[in-house]
Amino acid sequence: MDWEVWTVIVLLAVATFIARSSFWLVGHRINLPKRVQEALRYAPACALAAIIMPDLLMNNGHIVVSMTNPKLIAGIAATAFFLVKRNMLLTIFFGMAVYTFIRLGL
């Protein structure tokens, strides 16, 4: 069993190396269409949303879309704050302050 684990680790490392180095080796030779380049601009925002949204909506392993979910309330408040102030650092502080305030029941 031990050799199977090490084989999987080595194969995953090789696959990761090939996938990441391929762009470095041939990236300047391949031209992506303008439409694809524009679509890729939104990839980081989509990935961030895919990470954050489940955390905001889940509470104790269940989806809770109500005013009893402190993470969801803090996320909505932080979004509104960002739309007004347009300052990411202050938005993080504000969202965490709202979450802490609600969670501690102050």
pLDDT in tens, the chain (106 residues): 789 999 999 999 999 998 888 777 776 777 888 998 899 899 999 998 999 999 889 878 888 888 888 999 999 999 999 999 999 999 999 999 999 999 998 6
Q: Over the Cα atoms of the chain, what is R_g?
A: 21
* 3-state SS, residue 72: helix
Name the pTM for this structure.
Answer: 0.62
Rounded CA-CA distance 59/57 in Å is: 7
Give the sign of the dihedral formed by CA 61, CA 66, CA 68, CA 73: positive
Rounded CA-CA distance 28/42 in Å is: 21
The one-letter amino acid at 45: A
Question: Are the CB atoms for 97 and 70 separated by under 8 Å?
Answer: no
